[in-house]
Amino acid sequence: VGTDCSVGKMYTTLSLALGMQSQGMKATFRASGQSGILVAGEGVAVDCVVSDFISGSVEALCPANDDDHWDLIEGQGSLYHPAFAGVSLGLLHGSQPDALVICHALNRDHMRALPGR
């Protein structure tokens, strides 16, 4: 989850998945955007899904697994940005996460395309 767009959500998710795998943990990167799909070779581009179906598409993205398996779902948009929060909330509702990682660009003084916010 990010506080804005382009704050490293995909890179962070990929790094976490690779780090967990290197420690012998069962972890899978689940792509939810076009760039992530290019990297992973599969996924769902949730920004192309009709909003009523985002949660269901994310549920389908994460099949049932063993209790010791982690699905690391690439975040999209921002919970705080009014133009992108709907996609982010759909991801949250569909994935029902056990944990969240917040990505934030410390050097930003406003949200993308929203000076003063």
* Fold type of domain 9-95: Rossmann fold (3.40.50)
**Which residue shows structure tokens 């990929």?**
14
Neighbouring residues of 36: CB distance < 8 A, sequence distance ≥ 6: 10, 13, 29, 43, 74
Q: How confident is the model at residue 116 (pLDDT cuts 50, 70, 90)?
A: confident
Tens digits of residue pLDDT in 10-22: 999 999 999 999 9
What amino acid occupies position 68?
D
Tens digits of residue pLDDT in 47-104: 999 999 999 999 999 988 999 999 999 999 898 888 888 999 999 999 999 999 999 9
What are the sequence ranges of the domains in the chain? 9-95
What amino acid occupies position 103?
C
- Pair of tokens at residue 94: 């569909």
| CB 62 within 8 Å of CB 71 | yes
